Structure 1
């Protein structure tokens, strides 16, 4: 008897086949002694299968395999079986947006570069999978591009009377040298429908006082520091300053941007909102007033957000009892705080890096994990009262957009949770209420393991009363048009960089993957249960997102490259197939070209053969190049019987025969088998406890290997074998 090779392969399936949304068949576990192995196949059949040549020997079109890139690179035996049997490879995950794009939007090409060099040296071609899809995206980065801008509120109650600005009467305010006008206008401030002071410099403006707005008198407490802040923008580059009455130095040179340097008399303005913020304390009496001087340059129109115009007594006594003794970290330590998890670190910031204070707590999470896998906690002196509503507030920012949460926890780790909190890269105040459900909650815990990021947290308050007065943060949402522009730019960058980078190595691409719903309508991205790696480009770019994608891919690809649209369950839903074909026609009506249509074909033994034939007939009628892109045949069990293995081989043979019969030769791109073997490691996440592939769990050829080879050849190849079979 011939010796049979046993191929030892370990497959990381979470990276191999995170492909589609589809139901997995029922399966049953068979006792170990009832499982069918290659050795239990009829001897003559086993001998025949062993004598077949490598699969690609029988193909007259492209025969591909869906593989794991890391496995291919690191396991020589696995790499050899792929190289020997296939013409083309599709990596299941590693060439997708989620795998290659980091939190800053940078694309890491190095792993794919190395893989392509290895695979092309072995004579394999590379299929690009995939450019635009809703799953396996770096959704955190993409969502950060269109996240609302969070403008931190003031540090406390406003000592400046802005009521005359809010009602437009300017009561208490004086318009000195009003230039071409000082008014209050609706809808020009930071938030939705918010107000702004509009100040227009005259044509002869040359001095700061040539356009001036004077504030009411502001009462002060001697010895206290007061923070002055506001947001300002202008229709063209502008320049302004703040001068005073009632200070020892009424014309101070100040560090307007609170950077610790670059002291200047005046600040510059642009069309983008920016904050002016500084502290004064050299009062000569019990009150002072200030002057907004914007007359440096002629013809400039300025807008100052009304609600952001604040003067805050930084030394005012807090109105609440904070149960966190070291919540402001002003002593330069983390006394009372400790934490662990995910190799995270915690420290106190450098002096001056806190929010309106000297220090902040710094938490660094080095890698992506579960939220709770990196924690920082404070243990309270006494447990909180069950059923009492508590307020938790703190200021936070991160070096990249991140997600955190907090919890009230008991000694046995049971907890009440805040829910996810999105953190931006500028200081924002978080205020949440939470009610302990038991009487033993005695720890405040920050969970920060989800995002690789460095977080700064300051002014942590846990109280059963209200948080000390202060203005809430202002949230500025992008318009739909702005979101479309930003996301369109991100898609253009991704497609352009990928296709340009690999134009010499990748000759076919899944440009748009899985655009259709099951009923045949187009996905719109309006979902309530999106996974963490889901991002729907079409939600922001509309129906023409695919038009743009195909135009971009064609612009940067070689003329001979084949550009596909791809979807699943086309053999199970004629409505979905018809919808996809209609969408292809729409894309082309808008000036783009779709070269080919991919049908994934994750099927089972009981998939309707009549529907498979109808699908191939409809696809052929489009005139497009047709590819079976992710073929596997499920059995519903990891312990198939001999009969099931034969039925599986017959289904594979039927699909290959039907492809040859109904797809004209000129329209055949090829067929890709999705996966190599039935080893459990290869099906940890994709079709777990299944047996859909051509090699069994011991990496021996299954009956299905013969079915595919015969389908490729268009005949029973074993009928040509000569000589007595060895047993």
Structure 2
């Protein structure tokens, strides 16, 4: 299982280092998990555990403990986006399939975790998806006043200079003399001559030597048989001759720049006639790829998330009947989560309709994201139970209130949300009042309630504090941890009506498997689970079992 970092504000409240002797944490004897009453055997609701691939596939004691003590499992990592989605966007279900086959073959259920989370994604694939060029490259015209609409102060047209034959150049304004707008370039040489004898030049445009440019314009002549050309300066280049008809038609000239700037010139003096030029543009022949617009990026991310949800729920439709559809959408302030996408972090909520731009202030607090993902999931499997999972309910009233308000809005809109998941990553010092309040308030939503990731830490040190690595357990910690495990069960049953209880999942088997031991660099000592490192049942196990038996 990939180790993740989950913010647990209460863990930072205090650090207990203990000056006395270290309590003996493990005995040498391993307990056979099949000799006593089992947790799921006495539990009045589904009882689950988080498992990782290597241990469930290869560790016999780990596997026998899981199979004998629990009725369902949650994969800590192997159903997440980062585990399934490959660098080319394809899906690899092989490890998840092997795990599903093994646990279901033993009679256990699988709880799906998770379809939309800001961590454990294939971040490189998603960032590459954002970086794909836009569907319409940016290639603006480099020439100013190419429609000749703006008159100059001393010349017929702003941004153009008449070099020769000024008496023959004017603005075309009569009916039929414009291709678009109200004015065109009108050149009327009175007699045949050199092409440059009647000549008008644009202002200089910046060019890159060796780069190809395309001049495009519309032209017509009053009479058949006319002829003109284009040229540029200062290092002159010439187009082929043009023979306009008496109807508007488009013409083009492509040149490769041999200067760092160019003036585009219309050489109209070949033959007597009246010529009309309009809608002149100068653009790159091969424009550089442009970044996708935010609208395009939103469409891509929405589509790839919908496809992932559809693929996962379709693939496991006969095996997985409940899912954490979205996980940790709100931050510790109860605000829609955002951040910098790096490594496996990717903030789906930036692109799913809740913001006007990535990282911008949210216009809705997760409503758009969750409406979409829950509807996508429900469309694949209308019978599946769909959960919104998060942490901090028991210790962060502000966040809990935001979650309650969010779920209430979703329910009012008819969003198919069936349940709420309370992770309950906590410490042995969490207050019982906080636990009661969280379970009671979430139950009042009328949805299914599941404790999804229960563990109870005894090392309260910060992972960034070097002293945390010197943690020494004190004699009172394990009894308090055990009492807290017991209390969680009691509070769950007391505050959540039976019809709404969707079970409890413990986030790991033995202390040595816990994600908390990989909170680098310093939080490597903790004992948050029901079994010790040798799969010995801890006091926490006994009290947890007792609470289940008493119900």
Whether these two folds match at TM > 0.5 is yes
Q: Deviations over 1:200-251 (max 9, x none)?
A: xxxxxxxxxxxxxx997999xxxxx94313699xxxxxxxxxx987989959
Residues 599-648 of structure 1: per-residue CA shift (max 9 Å, x gap): 11111121110221122222222221110001011111764344322221
Q: Determine if the alignment matches structure 1 residue 620 to structure 2 residue 436.
A: no
Structure 1 contact 633–693 (Cα < 8 Å) conserved:
yes
CA deviations over 1:324-347 (Å, ceiling 9, x no partner): xxxxxxxxxxxxxxxxxxxxxxxx
Matches within 5 A, 1:108-507: 108-147=92-131, 149=133, 162=143, 165=146, 169=158, 171=160, 180-181=179-180, 226-229=210-213, 308-309=283-284, 476=291, 478-479=293-294, 481-507=295-321
Please state if 1:538 is matched with 2:522.
no
Distance 2:539 2:215 in 1: 72
How many angstroms does 1:533 deviate by? Answer: 3.0
Residue equivalent to 1:565: 388
User: For 1:13-55, what per-residue CA distance to the aligned partner results, in whole angstroms no more than 9, with x for missing partners?
Assistant: xx044555656455567899834133399xxxx9999953332
Aligned-partner SS, 1:649: helix
* CA RMSD between the two structures: 4.6
Q: Does the 8 Å CA contact 2:428/2:481 hold for their aligned counterparts?
A: yes
Q: Pick the structure with more helix per residue.
A: 2
**CA–CA distance in structure 1, aligned partners of residues 538 and 251 of structure 2:** 75
Q: 1:37 aligns with which of 7, 13, 25?
A: 25
Question: Contact 2:393–2:422 (CA<8 Å) still a contact in 1?
Answer: yes
Aligned partners of 2:517 and 2:524 also within 8 Å: yes
CA distance in 1, matches of 2:372, 2:117: 14
Is the Cα contact below 8 Å between 1:680 and 1:689 reproduced in 2? no
Pair 166,149 (structure 1): closer, same or farther in 2 beyond 3 Å: farther
CA deviations on 1:263-302 (whole Å, 9 max, x unpaired) are xxx999xxxxxxx998699xxxxx99899xxxxxxxxxx9
Aligned residue pairs total 450
Q: Residues 98, 32 of structure 1: CA spacing in aligned structure 2 closer, same or farther, 3 A cutoff?
A: farther
Q: In structure 1, the residue corresponding to 2:376 is in which secondary structure?
A: helix
2:416 alignment partner, SS class: coil
* CA spacing shift, 1:74–1:217, aligned 2, 3 Å: same
Among 421, 425, 436, the alignment partner of 1:598 is 421
Cα 1:500/1:153, change in 2 over 3 Å:
closer
Q: Which residue of 1 aligns with 2:245?
A: none
* Bigger shift: residues 675-684 or 625-634: 675-684
User: For 1:27 and 1:588, how far apart are their aligned partners in 2?
Assistant: 41
Find out whether 1:104 has 2:92 as its counterpart.
Answer: no
In structure 2, the gaps of 5 or more residues are 151-157, 163-168, 185-199, 217-228, 242-249, 268-277, 355-366, 461-470
**SS, match of residue 504 in structure 1:** coil
SS in 2 for 1:34: coil
Q: After superposition, what is the alpha-carbon deviation per residue over 1:364-390, rounded to whole angstroms, capped at 9, x for unaligned?
A: xxxxxxxxxxxxxxxxxxxxxxxxxxx
Change (3 A) 1:97 1:19: farther
Contact in 1 for aligned 2:47/2:71 (Cα 8 Å): yes
Pick closer, same or farther for the CA change 1:427–1:71 going to 2, 3 Å: farther
Contact 1:230/1:304 (CA < 8 Å) preserved in 2?
no
Contact residue 652 and residue 708 of structure 1 kept, 8 A = yes
One of 483, 496, 500 as aligned partner of 1:667: 500
* Counterpart Cα distance in 1 of 2:451 and 2:177: 72
Q: Distance in 2 between the 1:628 and 1:113 partners?
A: 25
Unaligned regions of 5+ residues in structure 1, if any?
1-11, 155-159, 185-197, 199-213, 220-224, 233-242, 252-265, 269-275, 282-286, 292-301, 311-355, 357-425, 429-474, 716-727
Counterparts of 1:651 and 1:147, CA distance in 2: 48
Residue 691 of structure 1, CA deviation: 0.7
SS at match of 1:129: strand
Q: In structure 1, the residue corresponding to 2:120 is in which secondary structure?
A: coil
**Higher Cα Rg: structure 1 or 2?**
2
Measured in 1, the distance between the counterparts of 2:51 and 2:7 equals 15
Cα distance in structure 2, aligned partners of 1:79 and 1:278: 72
Instruction: Flag the 1:16–1:244 CA change in 2: closer, same or farther, 3 A.
Output: same
Aligned to 1:523: 336
After superposition, the Cα gap between the structure-2 partners of 1:682 and 1:567, relative to the gap in structure 1 and judged at 3 Å, is closer
User: How far apart, CA to CA, are the structure 1 residues paired with 2:390 and 2:293?
Assistant: 32
Structure 1 pair 166–709 and aligned structure 2 pair: CA distance change class (3 A): farther
Q: Report the CA distance shift for 1:503/1:230 in structure 2 as closer, same or farther (over 3 A).
A: farther
Task: State whether residues 123 and 341 of structure 2, in contact with CA within 8 Å, keep that contact through their aligned partners in structure 1.
Answer: no
- Over 3 Å counting, the alpha-carbon distance change for 1:507 and 1:678 in structure 2 is same
Q: Does 1:581 align with 2:404?
A: yes
